[in-house]
């Protein structure tokens, strides 16, 4: 399952990664053709062939899509005609540094042209794209991948938002805080925040995405983590989280300090949240 690629998604992927402290980014291309995906050959231990998606790090000054087109062109000689979806990401440690690889599905002009590049080992695979196909799987190893090798898919934000709204329903301040977090499009997209500070009320009622029908933010613990520098983020993101927590649970806040420096978009979000909390129409 893939997610449509938009400018907002591309921005969010980079912003969330940097906020989590991961600044070394890479891209991998699942070139699709006739329900198959292109794999290219590399050399593993004992000179055994390793098959993986065309992948490379994003260079300084490049966007994710520029890096993707360059990677496909240099690796396979193909030209990307369309980026059709975002399939998720995979983190790995390289020389002590976390490298996050974003996987995109793409189409290419004349994909069979790769067969005419004698110096490129390749094959077309009908296997689903997983972390192993990014990193490479040695020939003769089992084709099934362990659960830990699955891609981390896009956050089901619509389900999480619905669960949080259900948990806050009827409480004006709680509703305002939740809406501020949803409209901010930052914190709820961060896996570290959601896993640590968003609680489902009924674990037995969770679906396959891991979210129940009702959820709530542990505001006090989240602000404590922010104070302890355990939630790296921009100043604006931190200010919005503090404002939301203050609206939801009355956590003390200097509003003058909190709104100083916010851009016009975030200032408007805060103003609308305050109006909602007080029962006034923005």
The per-residue pLDDT for range 84-121, each reduced to its tens digit, is 999 999 988 888 888 999 999 999 999 988 876 656 78
Please indicate, yes or no, whether residues 111 and 235 belong to a single structural domain of this protein.
no
* CA–CA separation, 240 and 262 (whole Å): 9
Please state the rounded mean pLDDT for residues 52-68: 94
Please indicate, yes or no, whether residues 248 and 268 belong to a single structural domain of this protein.
yes
| pLDDT reported for residue 236 | 84
Please indicate, yes or no, whether residues 114 and 62 belong to a single structural domain of this protein.
yes
| pLDDT reported for residue 242 | 93
| pLDDT reported for residue 185 | 73
Range among 93-102, 153-162, 264-273 with highest mean pLDDT value: 93-102
The DSSP code for 251 is -
pLDDT at 197 over 90: yes
Please indicate, yes or no, whether residues 125 and 173 belong to a single structural domain of this protein.
no
221 inside domain: yes
Residue 279 has φ and ψ, to the nearest 5°, of 80, 15
Please indicate, yes or no, whether residues 97 and 119 belong to a single structural domain of this protein.
yes
Please indicate, yes or no, whether residues 99 and 166 belong to a single structural domain of this protein.
no
pLDDT at 157 over 80: no
2 inside domain: no
Please indicate, yes or no, whether residues 14 and 140 belong to a single structural domain of this protein.
yes
* Paired tokens of 226: 């922010």
Domain's final residue, options 120, 149, 178: 149
142 pLDDT band, cuts 50/70/90, is very low
Q: Give residue 161's domain range.
A: 157-277
| pLDDT reported for residue 183 | 86
**100, 89 contact by CB (below 8 A):** yes
Domain's final residue, options 119, 149, 179: 149
Please indicate, yes or no, whether residues 161 and 145 belong to a single structural domain of this protein.
no
| pLDDT reported for residue 210 | 44
| pLDDT reported for residue 46 | 58
Range among 110-114, 138-142, 175-179, 236-240 with highest mean pLDDT value: 175-179
Please indicate, yes or no, whether residues 111 and 24 belong to a single structural domain of this protein.
yes
Domain's final residue, options 115, 149, 183: 149
Report the number of distinct structural domains present in the chain. Answer: 2
Question: What's the whole-number average pLDDT of the chain?
Answer: 83
Q: Which residues contact 176 (CB under 8 A, 6 or more apart)?
A: 247, 248, 273, 274, 276, 277
**Stated pTM of the model:** 0.59
1 inside domain: no
103 in helix, strand or coil?
strand
234 pLDDT band, cuts 50/70/90, is confident
Please indicate, yes or no, whether residues 92 and 214 belong to a single structural domain of this protein.
no
195 inside domain: yes
End-to-end CA distance of the chain: 38
Q: What Rg value do the Cα atoms of the chain yield, rounded? A: 22
* CA–CA separation, 111 and 38 (whole Å): 9
pLDDT at 69 over 90: yes
CATH number at residue 11: 3.90.79.10
63 inside domain: yes
């Amino acid at each position: 399952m893939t997610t449509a690629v938009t400018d907002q998604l591309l921005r969010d992927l980079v912003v969330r990664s940097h906020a989590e402290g991961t600044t070394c980014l890479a891209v991998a291309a699942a070139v699709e053709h006739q329900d198959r995906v292109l794999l290219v050959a590399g050399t593993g231990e004992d000179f055994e062939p390793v098959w993986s998606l065309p992948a490379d790090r994003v260079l300084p000054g490049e966007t994710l899509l520029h890096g993707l087109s360059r990677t496909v062109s240099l690796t396979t000689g193909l030209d990307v005609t369309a980026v059709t979806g975002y399939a998720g990401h995979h983190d790995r440690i390289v020389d002590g540094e976390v490298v996050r690889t974003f996987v995109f599905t793409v189409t290419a002009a004349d994909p069979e042209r790769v067969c005419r590049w004698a110096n490129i080992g390749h094959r077309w695979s009908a296997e689903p794209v997983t972390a192993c196909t990014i990193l490479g799987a040695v020939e003769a190893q089992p084709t099934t991948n362990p659960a830990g090798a699955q891609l981390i898919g896009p956050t089901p934000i619509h389900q999480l938002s619905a669960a949080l709204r259900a948990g806050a329903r009827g409480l004006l301040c709680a509703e305002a805080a939740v809406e501020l977090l949803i409209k901010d499009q930052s914190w709820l997209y961060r896996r570290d925040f959601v896993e640590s500070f968003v609680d489902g009320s009924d674990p037995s009622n969770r679906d396959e995405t891991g979210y129940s029908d009702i959820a709530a933010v542990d505001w006090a613990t989240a602000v404590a983590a922010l104070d302890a520098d355990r939630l790296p983020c921009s100043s604006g993101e931190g200010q919005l989280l503090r404002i939301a927590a203050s609206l939801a649970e009355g956590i003390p806040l200097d509003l003058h300090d909190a709104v100083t420096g916010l851009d016009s978009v975030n200032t408007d979000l805060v103003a609308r949240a305050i109006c909602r909390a007080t029962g006034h129409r923005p």
